[in-house]
Amino acid sequence: MPYTITEKILLAHTPDKKDIRVGEFIWAKVDLSLGNDITAPLAIEEFEKLGINPAIKDKIVLVPDHFVPAKDKKSAQQAKILKDFAAKYKIKHYYEVGRMGIEHALLPELGLVGPGDLVIGADSHTCTYGALGAFSSGVGSTDLAASWVTGRVWLRVPETIKFIFYGKLNKWVGGKDLILHTIGDIGVDGAAYRAMEFSGDVISSLPMDDRFTMCNMAIEAGGKSGIIEPDETTFNYVKETQKVKGKRQNYNSKFKNLKSDKDAIYAQIKEYDVSKIGPLVACPHLPSNVKQVRQLSNIELDQVVIGSCTNGRISDLRLAAKILKGRKVNPYTRCIVIPATQNIYLQAIKEGLIDIFVKSGAVVTTPTCGPCLGGHAGILTAGERCLATTNRNFVGRMGDLKSEVYLSNPAVAAASAVKGRIAHPDEVVG
């Protein structure tokens, strides 16, 4: 029978089954099991009650990235729980401050994820790895602990919605705008427990960083996962990351033809002409509350954040630097730049991007989720507004319940930092 790419991956990870159907529950093998300093301590607490060793310790990844460097005693204790657990069981993939990064940028960079993998993580944005042609999804902390014991995860096979993007991208438009447009169209529950399969000529032409951004925000439409069929762009990325970090398996030959069957069954098919899409902003308090940038030129800003697992990669920093070079951040606006990993930070230094940011009046911080979840390093007080390249803008997401968060791509964020209000990049660079 015909299958979508998601169904093929799930079937391949359920060796006791010969076929698979939407809606059925499966007991699937996991290739990677991820936890961070918020979610992993809960998993560790439950796991330790069993008094056994992890069954898949080489597949466990622990990344303290939400409240680090520790902002207070409680956050320091959370991080210590991870470190102690990693030392006790000799967890290979534990990444301390100084070697870590924002988890969903770090794992692909380290070559830990590739096409055809099944990845779970106790973080909702685990869906990011679908950009590499993997099935990846967020789970609860107890599911995480269970995977350490059994090497498996209990899943319901999701329906798939296929999104086809065609046409020519407009200036300043990238993956962030495409996914904001999609969420604005279907709503924050439009893909509830469904796989979001992104396809079309436009997707095929997108670089990996934009693909990561799109899959990262599948959860903002309620998606169980986001996924893009692996192609030469994917395989070249995987080849380069694994050349540096050590090849885990030959993805290029094993998954060369990993794609949905032509007669696969979809719950829905949506098509978008990208030539009609301009730079967008998601307004408070939902990622679906999307408007054109030029409609919001009267929105003054107290803070701009450029970074996160959504838009903290090197191409994002390059784009922001292009806008900020030779210009100054508005004197009444804070601009916080957060490279997503140490390697990205180092690359930004080598390329002179950090020099541009600092000279513009922005501040550059160590890799951290920090302000994205209202953790630290950029909390808002009552009445303040922030435009961020992050992925969520719920009530109180970045601090006080009476603050506001807007979401955009890095070019719009950088231009807005200069103007001190939401601004189109053309207002700054022409």
Task: Say if residue 256 is in the same domain as residue 296.
Answer: no
Domain boundary among 242, 273, 304: 273
Select the more confidently predicted residue: 232 or 253: 232
Q: How many domains does the chain have?
A: 2
CATH of the domain at 424: 3.30.499.10
Each residue's pLDDT tens digit, 344-400: 999 999 999 999 999 999 999 999 999 999 999 999 999 999 999 999 999 999 999
- Range scoring the smallest mean pLDDT among 60-69, 92-101, 255-264, 313-322: 255-264
pLDDT reported for residue 256: 65
Q: Inform me whether the pLDDT recorded for 251 exceeds 70.
A: no
Q: What number is the average pLDDT over the span 389-413?
A: 96
Q: What number is the average pLDDT over the span 46-54?
A: 94
Nearest to 45 by CA among 77, 92, 93, 90: 77
Question: What is the Cα 58 distance to its own chain's centre?
Answer: 23
Pairing type for strands 290-292 and 280-282 reads antiparallel
Domain boundary among 235, 252, 273: 273
| Residue 213, both tokens | 């951004």
Task: Say if residue 346 is in the same domain as residue 392.
Answer: yes
Q: How confident is the model at residue 252 (pLDDT cuts 50, 70, 90)?
A: very low
Amino acid identity, position 310: T
Q: Answer whether 427's CB lies under 8 Å from 419's CB.
A: yes
Task: Say if residue 254 is in the same domain as residue 125.
Answer: yes
Q: Answer whether 14's CB lies under 8 Å from 27's CB.
A: yes
Pairing type for strands 159-166 and 135-138 reads unpaired
Q: What number is the average pLDDT over the span 248-259?
A: 63
Residues in the chain: 430
Task: Provide DSSP, 19-36.
Answer: ---TT-EEEEE-SEEEEE
Task: Provide DSSP, 248-273.
Answer: -S-HHHHTTT----TT---SEEEEEE
Task: Say if residue 261 is in the same domain as residue 407.
Answer: no
Task: Say if residue 20 is in the same domain as residue 140.
Answer: yes
Q: What number is the average pLDDT over the span 400-427?
A: 98
| 195, β-bridge pairs | 160, 225
Q: What number is the average pLDDT over the span 397-421?
A: 97
Angle at the Cα of 51 from the Cα atoms of 47 and 53, rounded to 5 degrees: 75
Q: Inform me whether the pLDDT recorded for 250 exceeds 60.
A: no
Alpha helices in 325-408 (DSSP H): 342-350, 353-360
DSSP 158: P
Domain boundary among 273, 300, 332: 273
Give CA–CA dist 396/264, Å, rounded: 41
Q: Inform me whether the pLDDT recorded for 70 exceeds 70.
A: yes
- Residue 62 belongs to domain spanning: 5-273
pLDDT reported for residue 241: 86
pLDDT reported for residue 245: 53
pLDDT reported for residue 297: 96
Q: How confident is the model at residue 20 (pLDDT cuts 50, 70, 90)?
A: very high
